């Protein structure tokens, strides 16, 4: 496939490079001012990190590798503090660069460490999962978790570049690839119906990491996020539409102790939001059914256990999208027509949850 580049306008403009075998793009994004690079990666990507280090060292850069815990276990203040200590011992300056090589948890942490070290050093994101490529690594939202909830501590800090090397997806477990498609489908429902049509035409191609269909889905999803982020960097208004399905999703992740994959929780959250919009008289039943049909075709869940509603409601009240005690949801008035529903009646919420509980 050919390499594509999607521009993002932020506090500084940058590009998301999408294609195959793209690790050679990394030195150009790091630039000539840097002398040192910290590459943050999970254990499973140690071989890839070693290749990156050898390439960067051959170009005269001092490279430090740090291995992170898996998934959400990396997003703690303790892990962040260990990274700060490493940067201090290596005398990292404001011209030096952090590289996040891994999934969404890695890119979230790498971005936060870069944002907070010396009040901000450059970060290049190299997402290696589908979820990270279409969501976490693009847009400059960084963060870590606390005992009270997900991503409650963080900063807006745009990368200087993002490399989406689709060849890295060939070793991704099938369940993780499917979970990433939850965020892809979200982009389809809020902004680009062609994404839904591609999935409906061939769910098997959408789940094939070597297919041109998946490549187009990635490019379209990144383009949706780039347009939204360019118009609303700090989530003052428009950017909230990217949270479609996320209010319940984050609550599910919290209640499950982050054992659920993010894209799986978003899948359930989108069906809940669709049912909520239907019951509020804003979305047709056919569009709700389309949610279930598209997500089910990809092997994603659309229901959740019925005995968890009190715990989920409490978790949603602590969500960062809540204003005071008022719950706020992104809902649809039709495909590609996102809106907001603020302070819905508790009975309406319970009725929507009854539609997705098993």
Residue 81 sits in the same domain as residue 198? no
Using the predicted structure, report yes or no on whether residue 323 has a pLDDT greater than 60.
no
Using the predicted structure, report yes or no on whether residue 84 has a pLDDT greater than 60.
yes
Residue 135 sits in the same domain as residue 282? no
Give which of 106, 99, 7 is closest to 53, Cα–Cα: 99
281: CATH: 1.20.1090.10
Q: How far is CA 259 from CA 73, 136, 254, 256, 262, in A?
A: 11, 18, 9, 6, 9
User: 82, exposed or middle or buried, with CB in 10 Å at 0-12, 13-18, 19+?
Assistant: middle
Residue 130 sits in the same domain as residue 215? no
Question: According to the model, what pLDDT value does residue 137 have?
Answer: 84
Residue 222 sits in the same domain as residue 163? no
153: CATH: 3.40.50.1970
Using the predicted structure, report yes or no on whether residue 348 has a pLDDT greater than 60.
yes
- 1 contacts 11 by C-beta, under 8 angstroms: no
| Span 233-283, pLDDT tens digits | 676 678 889 999 999 999 999 999 889 999 999 999 999 999 999 999 999
Domain limit, last residue, from 156, 171, 186: 171
Report the C-alpha gap between 17 and 304 in whole angstroms.
Answer: 36
Residue 270 sits in the same domain as residue 292? yes
Q: Retrieve residue 152's tokens.
A: 């409650």
Average pLDDT rounded to a whole number, residues 81-96: 96
Report the C-alpha gap between 122 and 99 in whole angstroms.
Answer: 9
Place of tokens 């990433």: 180
Report the C-alpha gap between 84 and 97 in whole angstroms.
Answer: 13
pTM over cut 0.95: no
| Span 19-78, pLDDT tens digits | 999 999 999 999 889 999 999 999 999 999 999 999 999 999 999 999 999 988 999 999
Range of the domain at 314: 175-356
| Span 207-242, pLDDT tens digits | 999 999 999 999 999 999 999 988 876 766 788 899
Domain limit, last residue, from 142, 171, 200: 171
Residue 232 sits in the same domain as residue 329? yes
Residue 159 sits in the same domain as residue 229? no
Residue 165 sits in the same domain as residue 310? no
Residue 212 sits in the same domain as residue 244? yes
Question: According to the model, what pLDDT value does residue 150 have?
Answer: 79
Place of tokens 């490549």: 215
Residue 165 sits in the same domain as residue 182? no
Cβ-count burial 148-157 (b if 16+ within 10 Å, e if not): ebbbebbebb
Q: Retrieve residue 267's tokens.
A: 């899948």
Domain limit, last residue, from 144, 171, 198: 171
Q: Which residues are catalytic?
A: 119, 141, 183, 225, 235, 239, 243, 246, 250, 262
Give which of 179, 167, 170 is closest to 298, Cα–Cα: 179
Residue 146 sits in the same domain as residue 246? no
């Amino acid at each position: 496939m050919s390499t594509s580049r999607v521009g993002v306008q932020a506090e500084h403009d940058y590009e998301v490079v999408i294609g195959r075998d793209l690790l050679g793009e990394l030195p150009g994004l790091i630039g000539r001012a840097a002398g040192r690079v910290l590459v943050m990666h999970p254990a499973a990507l140690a071989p890839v990190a070693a290749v990156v280090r050898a390439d960067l060292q051959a170009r005269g850069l001092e490279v430090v590798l740090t291995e992170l815990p898996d998934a959400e276990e990396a997003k703690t203040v303790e892990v962040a503090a260990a990274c700060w200590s490493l940067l201090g011992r290596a005398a990292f300056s404001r011209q030096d660069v952090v590289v996040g090589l891994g999934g969404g948890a890695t890119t979230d942490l790498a971005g936060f460490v870069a944002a907070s070290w010396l009040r901000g050093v450059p970060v290049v994101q190299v997402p290696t999962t589908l979820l990270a490529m279409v969501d976490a690594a693009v847009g400059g939202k960084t963060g870590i978790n606390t005992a009270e909830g997900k991503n409650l501590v963080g900063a807006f800090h745009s990368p200087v570049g993002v490399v989406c090397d689709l060849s890295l997806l060939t070793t991704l477990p099938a369940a993780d690839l499917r979970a990433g498609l939850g965020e892809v489908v979200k982009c389809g429902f809020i902004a680009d119906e062609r994404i839904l049509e591609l999935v409906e035409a061939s769910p098997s191609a959408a789940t094939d990491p070597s297919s041109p269909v998946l490549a187009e889905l990635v490019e379209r999803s990144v383009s949706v996020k780039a347009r939204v982020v360019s118009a609303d960097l700090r989530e003052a208004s428009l950017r909230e539409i990217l949270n479609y399905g996320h209010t319940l999703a984050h609550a599910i992740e919290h209640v499950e102790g982050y054992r659920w994959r993010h894209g799986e929780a978003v899948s359930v959250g989108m069906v809940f939001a669709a049912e909520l919009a239907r019951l509020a008289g804003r979305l047709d039943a056919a569009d709700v059914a389309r949610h279930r049909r598209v997500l089910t075709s990809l092997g994603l869940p659309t229901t959740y256990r019925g005995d968890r509603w009190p715990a989920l409601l409490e978790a949603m009240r602590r969500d960062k999208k809540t204003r005071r005690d008022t719950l706020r949801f992104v809902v649809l008035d039709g495909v590609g027509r996102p809106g907001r529903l603020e302070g819905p009646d508790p009975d309406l919420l319970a009725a929507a949850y009854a539609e997705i509980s098993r």
